[in-house]
Structure 1
Amino acid sequence: MANFAKSQQPQFSVDVYQNSYLPEGGREVNAIVTVTSTGGGTSGGVPLAGSTGSASTTAVVLMVDCSGSMDYPPTKMRNARDATAAAIDTLRDGTLFAVVAGTHVAKDVYPGNGRLAKADRLSKAQAKDALRGLSAGGGTAIGTWLRLADRLFGTTGVGLRHGILLTDGRNEHEAPEDLRAALDACAGRFTCDARGVGTDWEVKEVTAIASALLGSADIVADPSGLAADFTRMMENTMGKEVADVALRLWTPVDTEILFVKQVAPAVVDLTGRRTQAGPRAGDYPTGSWGDESRDYHVCVQVPQARLGQEMLAARVSLILPSPSAQEPPQTLSQGLVRAVWTDDLVASTAMNPQVAHYTGQAELARVIQQGLDARKAGDLDGATAKLGRAVQLATVSGNEDTAKLLSKVVDVVDAATGTVRLKAKVAEADEMTLETRSTKTVRVKK
């Protein structure tokens, strides 16, 4: 069990890895920005304004699929109840929490008064009693579950808000645009981990929920594994201490940001989530943080310059919003992205190892998705080519977990060249696991 008792708030650091040299006429600058949060520190001796670290400033809503399909087999619903009970047991005392039963409508089953309960021995026991009343029946409209969770979170002034969502089926009882609208409404208001149990759910739906709400997505193919997975998720949630940290990019005149992506521990494109933060500055959401490190790939296009000229291509800052409008936001750490023009061919053509690694990891995620889509569409040659390239990239980068998942979908003839044969028969759970975990990356070997 994780140890959640922490006396001080985390410190943040920013490290920038790049090759700053550009050839004559060169305009594209790439950098990997590593953000690390370490607990037990303070920011300049002053506690972080938006940090929490205490249970009373953390809120969790558990959304449990109770649609009719959860009755097939009947053990699935029992496993979901047991998993939710295990997650409730993992809550720190003082954490605010609620349980939502999700069908084609959403119902607040505990505490049931439109608010959240405070976790203690009595409320945890009452919540687990309420779980015994959960039964399967009805349809699936996940957008209604998320909107109810948002309303419940809105009854508190808590900074750290986290949802855990379990589904076993496709979102068939609301239009895709209704789910999209719910995600847009909830983005930035709480984070959410999403899990698909069994094999009758839609991978792209579950991963879209996690991506939009800056959480994790995964498959639990065997429902008996739910309790262990829910416990791990809740331990991770209890380890979060700072909410709503933003990656702020300031760029000089005539410089364009081409993209901003989280590239570790998973690939998440943040480019379209920019919010303006003053002249030539924009904020990209990173969600909540505990003791952890994440990597971001920043790509900017700078104006042309003369050989020998040097410029600041971007300033990267970690920003914590202020608790009140009267106070300025807090800058937690900064890093600089530079550009220097040179006629030294060796210097300007060298690729930074971190940039090269994560460019390959982003391609790995992309070709797995393209290969699986081609396989489903009956394009076996296209699927073989894409999944072969995926095997090659996974091998080169040392992404052993992804390589193992690929080996369940293709027979590997030569990993180094990406020569593979599609397996004639693939278990649905294996294919869904590969698709769900395709965006998970490995870090650069030191």
Structure 2
Amino acid sequence: MSEPQFSIKIDQNRYLPEGGREVHAIVSVEASAADGPPAASAARASEVVIIDTSGSMSYPETKLRAAVAAAQVAVDTLRDGVEFAVVSGSNTASMIFPRHPGLVPATPETRAEAKLALSRLTASGGTAIGSWLRLAGRLFDTVQGGIRHAILLTDGKNQHETPEELDAALAACGGRFVCDCRGVGTDWEVAELRKVASALLGGVDIVADPAGLVADFQAMTEAAMGKSVADVALRVWTPRTAKLRFVKQVMPTVEDLTGKRVGSEPQAGDYPLGAWGAESRDYHICVEVEPGQVGGRELRAAWVKLVVPGAPGEEAKVLATGNVLAQWTDDEALSTKINPRVADYTGQAELADAIQKGLQANRDGDVDTATALLGRAVVLADEAGNDAITAMLRKVVDVVDPATGTVRLKRNVDKVAEMELDTRSSKTVRTRKDETVTTRRGEG
């Protein structure tokens, strides 16, 4: 596996009207596979598989058996030499393999031993996800550097620890490893697992039918094994008089990174992006600047770098850079245009928010708010060309007029359909290349 080559592309309209303050830009980061031998650091990886073994996993018994089979496939998918462990989660966390806390290299022998240990699993007890993550964190602390990835599977709510205990565990584990979360069945809480995945830079999804776990675990493990650069960060510098309003990932999913900022250089902060392989992701940044002189020179509103932070006392490795610019003009034709990619991703971020808040309003019994928000979501999904989300919305609402967002909430909505819409609401699609530039909507 070769370390990928990184590039940054900036999409924006740099022209602002007189007095304009907000500069928006889409930062597209692409990592393309490169030929040649891998760097030593790129080849190292560690994996922890966390399986819910609470009592509910045995109702029905096929749920636990499917989870075991999925974990066994994940173990088989590991590259030779990857250090791994398998953890059982209930009221507390315990080791399935190896027996004592630690990680072991993947070999034919250790894979066979791990799969045998998994086959002996039984289900009992409750759910305390924070304790599971803390054990994973201690396991990852035994390795230095490299890709650190966990898979967490649960079928229920986090009932055996307080929300504060889970928050403390997430704060302690943040930045130490990436965790992808899966909920099996329909008795778990989407918002709860989304919070875990967000804090640990991973994804969340539903596997409604336990039979789908094997393929899903294999895909997650293959994706983790395809990463080759760990702990990448987006470093954003702004002028002293500017304020960075937000940094959001907008592709392949919507994720607000603003609160994850870690100070790095003077006037700059790092936003963690996790591990990378050959892939591309898009980020939306908004900078508030002091208005400049109309007709004056072009200014740098932000300097964006993709970096791998160094150890204490060491400089970061810069992988790619790009500039976000600003220039003031009295030409209304220039200043009233918004870059189409900025417009499209702004709509898709609003789409995710409308779906999540609309579904919550419906659960709370606020039918009017739910109807309005999910109707707005229908319009936004259509504008974005997000056909997958449109199809999911139509399982939850009857669409009377897609152009105006006139909808009626369906009665007796299938729980799986609702949870699929919720978990996948933040998945975005690439902007349409043939879209024309549109007028600003309240910017500046």
With the shorter chain as reference, the TM-score category is: over 0.9
Any gaps of 5 or more consecutive residues in structure 2?
434-444
Structure 2 match to 1:367: 354
Deviation of residue 278 (structure 1)? Answer: 2.0
Q: Read off the aligned partner of 2:51 and give its amino acid letter.
A: V
Match of 2:437 in 1: none
In the superposition, the TM-score normalised over structure 2's length comes to 0.95
| Structure 2 counterpart of 1:65 | 52
CA–CA distance in 2 between the matches of 1:120 and 1:182? Answer: 31
AA in 1 matched with 2:119: R
Distance 1:384 1:351 in 2: 30
Distance between the aligned counterparts of 2:167 and 2:93, measured in 1? 17
What residue is the counterpart of 2:154 in the other structure? 167
Residues 41 and 273 (structure 1), Cα distance of their counterparts in 2 relative to 1, 3 Å cut: farther
Structure 1: how far apart are the matches of 2:115 and 2:393?
Answer: 39
Distance in 1, Cα, partners of 2:113 & 2:55 = 25
Percent of pairs identical after alignment? 57
Residue number among 368, 374, 385 corresponding to 1:387 in the alignment: 374
Per the TM alignment, residue 325 of structure 1 is displaced from its structure 2 partner at its CA by 3.9
Task: Identify the residue that residue 251 of structure 2 maps to in structure 1.
Answer: 264
Structure 2 counterparts to residues 309-320 of structure 1, below 5 A = 309=296, 310-320=298-308
In structure 2, C-alpha distance between the alignment counterparts of 1:342 and 1:112, rounded to whole Å? 68
Q: Identify the residue that residue 32 of structure 1 maps to in structure 2.
A: 26
Structure 2 match to 1:331: 318
Paired with 1:257 and 1:429, the residues of 2 have a C-alpha distance of 39
What is the DSSP-based 3-state SS (H/G/I as helix, E as strand, rest coil) of the residue aligned with 2:400? strand
**Distance 1:141-1:436 versus aligned 2 partners, 3 A rule:** same
Amino acid at match of 1:105: T
User: After TM superposition, where is structure 1 displaced by more than 3 Å over at least 4 residues in a row?
Assistant: 324-327
CA distance in 2, matches of 1:115, 1:47: 26
For residues 43-442 of structure 1, the aligned pairs below 5 Å read 52-54=41-43, 57-309=44-296, 310-322=298-310, 324-325=311-312, 327-442=314-429
Counterpart for residue 15 of structure 2: 21
Find the counterpart in structure 1 of residue 432 from structure 2: 445
* Shift in Å, 1:326: 5.3
Partner SS state of residue 200, structure 1 = coil
Report if the CA contact (8 A) 1:108-1:114 is conserved. yes
CA RMSD, Structure 1 to Structure 2 (Å) = 1.3
Distance in structure 2 (CA, Å) of the matches to 1:326 and 1:307: 43
Match of 2:438 in 1: none
Q: How many residues align?
A: 432
* Structure-1-length-normalised TM-score: 0.95
SS at match of 2:269: strand
Write the letter of the residue equivalent to 2:288: Q
Separation in 2 of the partners of 1:281 and 1:377? 41
The answer to whether the 8 Å contact 1:37/1:291 transfers is yes
Query: Counterpart of 2:250 in 1: which secondary structure?
Result: strand
Kept in 2: contact 1:60–1:97 (CA 8 A): yes
1:228-252: per-residue Cα shift (whole Å, max 9, x none)?
1000000100000001111001111
Superposed CA deviations along residues 404-440 of structure 1, whole A, max 9, x for unmatched, are 1111100112222212111012011111111111111
Amino acid at match of 1:209: V
1:41 Cα deviation (Å)? 5.3
